[in-house]
A and B are shown apart, each in its own frame.
Chain A
Amino acid sequence: MAEANTATGNPPRPVNRSSGRPDNLRLLLNNKLATAGLAIFALIVLTALAAPLLPLPDPDVTAPADRLFRPLSEGHLLGTDALGRDILSRLIWGTRVSLAVGISATLIAAFFGSLIGLVAGYAGGRVDTFLMRGIDMVMAFPYILLALAIVAVLGPGLLNALYAIAVVNIPFFARNIRGIALGLSRREFVDAARLSGESNAQILFIEVLPNVLPVIIITMSTTVGWMILETAGLSFLGLGAQPPQADLGSMLGDGRKILFTAPHVSIIPGLMIFALVMSINLLGDGVRDVLDPRLKSGALTRPLARTAVIRDIAPGDIEPSPGAVLDVRGLKTEFRFGGEVFKAVGGVDMRVGRGECLGIVGESGSGKTVAAMSIMGLVPTPPGRIAGGVALLEGEDLFAVSDERIRQLRGSAVSHVFQDPLSTLHPLFTVGDQLIEAIQSHRSMPKSRATERAVELLNLVRIPNPAERLKSYPHELSGGMRQRVCIAMALADDARIIIADEPTTALDVTVQAQVLALLDKLRRERDVGILFITHDFGVVSAICDRVAVMYAGQFVETGATGEILKSPAHPYTAKLIDCVPVLGQPERRLDAIEGRPPVVNNLPIGCAFAERCPRAQDDCRAAPIPLTEFGQGRAVRCIHPILMEAGHG
């Protein structure tokens, strides 16, 4: 997976109080819809504010002779209502009232809701339980109904409607802010403040509040439109503004009585409410996207069924290597984010024969998973794309065949086993459903026959009580059992290659050994080739015939497993082997490799490992290093390899 793609689910960071504001505004203005919302909203607000200065007739002066003029009448741009009052003037003055009421209600709800949320989240324990139960109780009422009940008690009137709407919106603020405050109150900077002797109130308002402010603003921007709508609604029902005072809702309510004879009297104020609420919602979405990018809907893109293939040059006829079932040449896979290109895989050759196991070893981020997932087009597009190379499966170029052909080959000729069997099995279907589906995807057979076959498969992977287990859901099985189910699924059809992506990493050590033994046995009995991805040389030594060490999207060393383990030539390989703990040698250094792999959008010209390499010299950084032959069946991408006599261990 691209690392850049996994930055979700981070806890909120303490805000940097001094910066960010102009940047946020710029981000907001980049969003066209939000900008349009802002423009319309600003126009409405400015017009409403300027009402006393505008040359408008008095909104409340009745003129029975001028009643029900249509829009565009002389002197009355939007016509007049049933009492002959100028609609344009009433509209602007009414908007003032609606805005004032909606915004006041929002501020009141934000103040009390945030206070409750902050206190509940910060205090925790009983205070939290008590306050949140109260909030739950309020939320057990249908929203508008509670507002009605409050108005019923207080009596109809604009101010009472305002209070009612504010009260029913308090829970939204309380809940949102409580969640964030709860997380923050466990953070180090709060502990530090406490130790330095700040009082609870100080901590709450000086340390915690600034960090929840974005959430308060988001909640305000997403509820203010709603509150304007609801206060207008109460006025429409005759429970809000009382004559002669008028807001948009009561204008609409008055107009309803003469809907059939003079529709413009009700349509115009409704249109204004709509424009106001819509502009606020557009703006609110934009504000939310800027302040909390994780919620941005556009950030989620749907991965296509198959990785896009955009090869610069169509490869000519390539003869597959003799004996190879899978023969990958010059594979290049990239990720594109905005204008940046991350070359996750930069030209890789892989060959797997019948019953052979090729291991690909590297740190996380080295590109090994992307290389393996590219073969059957399982790298998500967007942002991934295959930018070059061929993948021949028994002579057929997998990057050139149709989508339907790829679907047929997936799970039949080439199967996959993934890392974490809890997240890779569908949580809502039984193991049996998922196995039977895998079987029926490739051979049409009645369900009873497929069920028998599923039982056989579970037997094959040594799951006790297979007929019973078919009815289990993945979460009801142990990690080892789940991975056996995944292996069984990989054998659903006549697999010739199994691509196993860290299949033992998520398992306990003893279970690891069992799963490895099972895979090893299956490949020998069924003559299946395995492409085995791992970061662990210990696992490599247990199952792989040959191994390819990957770094920054390229292979840096390839060869037979025994040879490489005995005498690694590339310094990176040597370091990786050093990471494997050996039983009985506790003095062995178990340090991880210092430094980090380079970011693949900005690779150095020369050796990508040079920055972390103890043997690096100036010539390492000067020019690209080719993968050169290094003894029988071995190759290394290093101009100062560790030679045999240097020894190792």
Chain B
Amino acid sequence: MSAYIAKRLLAAIPVLFGLTIIVFLIMAMIPGDPATAILGSYATPENVEKLNRDLGLDKPLFQQYFIWLTNLFHGDLGRSYTLNRPVLDEVLERFSATLILAGTALVLCSVLGLVAGVVSAVRQFSWVDKTITLVVLIGISVPSFWLGLLLILVFAVDLGWFPASGMYAIYGGGGPLDLLHHLFLPALTLAVVATGVIARLTRTAMLEVLRQDYIRTARAKGVTENRVIYRHAFKAALVTVIPVIGIQAGFVLGGAVYIETVFQWPGIGSMLVKAISTRDLLLVQGGVLVVAAAYVLFNLAADVLQTVLDPRLR
């Protein structure tokens, strides 16, 4: 098993390299003079020339890539010109906030999605099933940024149960309870779509598994129906759902862009939106790279988890 995990880790390395190539190429594709684009149109010619030299933009593309990659390995992602601080510092600080939000949302959508899917399958065609199916359909169709606004209006403005924005209270905040209080609405909003997707898939997977021969065997040997469903069928269904949870990690990390904007969460998503509108492209590059790398690792974790559950994959 550990050999397998090591193999998967090694296999993730080329993917990470591929990411750096794509991110690099995207920035290389910027129309016009990159230095001007990075520094903005009010930059002095001296600064543009200096940046061109610093970035090695006078060299061939593949050489530029290796220079950039070497810098990356030294933790140098350049300097954000709008914030006047190293990109890496800003990105890591922001990313920790995103990880808290997205991680919570991922746990929420996995738990809610699995539970809803299993209940829906077990009570197939009952009103519970129909209600869940409808709610799921609404969940995957609703614009999360709009849902976030509605939740703010109801739970923050009208009822006053939760704060409308931010990660900590400005005065006297800072503890884990304060964080949870601020986290609840954005994490829930962020989890909605993924919950729907996971619930749908879990329902189908459970129904598929419950028709398998080994379920009939379990019943034939006198195993109680609860055990058949929650042990035999659920474990088999989980194996097909886990990779999808891995993929949903990508949608949750991406969806954080909206939710962080709506709830003014100081994460990497709201940073990216601001960086794009101020054309702080080095900051965009660093942010995209870190989030994409995190997504690769989430998928890797899903892979490993699937292998732990399914001996046939070892």
Contacts and interface: CB of A to CB of B under 8 A. Distances in A.
A237 B257 contact: yes
Interface in B202-227: 203-204, 206-208, 210-225, 227
Contacts of A442: 222
B257 A148 contact: yes
Interface stretch (A295-303, A447-455, A625-633): A295-303
B149 A259 contact: yes
Contacts of A144: 251, 254-255, 257-258
A10 interface: no
B217 A437 contact: no
Contacts of A183: none
A237 B273 CA distance: 7
Nearest to A259: B149
B146 A411 contact: no
B143 interface: yes
A412 B208 contact: no
Contact of A267 (B150, B214, B216, B228): B150
Nearest to A305: B225
B95 to A, nearest CB: 12
B198 to A, nearest CB: 15
A235 to B, nearest CB: 10
B23 A149 contact: yes
Nearest to A489: B221
B254 to A, nearest CB: 3
Contact of A411 (B207, B220, B272, B309): B220
23 contacts: A140-B295, A144-B255, A148-B288, A153-B31, A153-B281, A229-B141, A229-B143, A239-B276, A239-B277, A252-B146, A266-B149, A267-B149, A270-B143, A270-B145, A273-B143, A278-B137, A281-B137, A300-B204, A303-B215, A403-B225, A412-B222, A420-B213, A428-B309
Contacts of A238: 273, 277
A416 B217 contact: yes
A143 B235 CA distance: 29
A263 B277 CA distance: 25
B26 A282 contact: no
Interface in B162-204: 200, 203-204
A270 B146 contact: yes
A225 interface: yes
B216 A415 contact: no
Nearest to A260: B157
Contacts of B77: none
A380 interface: yes
A153 B26 contact: yes
A145 B19 contact: no
A441 interface: yes
B90 to A, nearest CB: 16
B203 A297 contact: yes
Interface in A77-92: none
A149 B284 contact: yes
A427 B212 CA distance: 11
A236 B137 contact: no
A441 B23 CA distance: 57
Contacts of A149: 23, 26, 284, 288
B143 A233 contact: yes
A486 B213 CA distance: 13
Contact of B296 (A140, A380, A409): A140
Contact of B216 (A141, A302, A378): A378
B310 interface: yes
Contacts of B26: 149-150, 152-153
Nearest to A281: B141
Given A274-B141, A426-B217, A409 B222 contact: yes
A545 B261 CA distance: 78
Contacts of A154: 31
Nearest to A299: B207
The residue among A142, A145, A380, A442 with the most chain B CB atoms within 10 A of its own CB is A142
A154 B207 CA distance: 45
Contact of B312 (A140, A423, A473, A490): A473
B216 A424 contact: yes
Interface string A384-411: 0000000000000000000100011111
A290 interface: no
A263 B153 contact: yes
Interface in B286-308: 288, 291-292, 295-296
A492 interface: yes
A473 B309 CA distance: 12
Nearest 8 interchain pairs by C-beta: A270-B146, A144-B254, A411-B222, A411-B221, A142-B250, A278-B141, A300-B207, A142-B254
A311 interface: no
For chain B, give the interface size range.
Answer: 35 or more
Contact of A145 (B138, B220, B253, B312): B253
Contacts of A277: 141-143
B45 interface: no
A305 B23 CA distance: 53
Contact of B140 (A281, A300, A412, A428): A281
A634 interface: no
B60 interface: no
B110 to A, nearest CB: 17
Contact of A428 (B152, B257, B291, B310): B310
Given A297-B200, A378-B219, 12 more contacts: A142-B251, A142-B292, A145-B272, A152-B284, A156-B276, A263-B153, A277-B143, A303-B210, A423-B213, A424-B214, A437-B227, A475-B311
B212 A423 contact: yes
Contacts of B277: 156, 238-239
B217 A424 contact: yes
Contact of B220 (A225, A273, A415): A415
A151 interface: yes
A441 B122 contact: no
Contacts of B211: 300, 302-303, 380
Contacts of A489: 217, 221
Interface in A148-170: 148-156
Contacts of A416: 217, 220-221
B80 to A, nearest CB: 14
A330 B250 CA distance: 59
The residue among B27, B138, B258, B275 with the most chain A CB atoms within 10 A of its own CB is B258
B22 interface: yes
Nearest to A298: B125
A7 interface: no
A427 B310 CA distance: 8
A300 B137 CA distance: 18
A407 B213 CA distance: 17
A143 B251 contact: yes
B122 to A, nearest CB: 7
Contacts of B250: 141-143, 145
Contacts of A281: 137, 140-141
A426 B232 contact: yes
B29 interface: yes
B143 A259 contact: no
A141 B22 contact: yes
Nearest to B157: A260
Interface string A326-344: 0000000000000000000
Given A256-B149, A300-B204, A236 B214 contact: no
A132 B257 CA distance: 28
A352 interface: no
Contacts of B292: 140-142, 145
Contacts of B219: 305, 378, 410
A376 B259 CA distance: 54
A425 B296 CA distance: 34
Nearest to A143: B254
A232 interface: yes
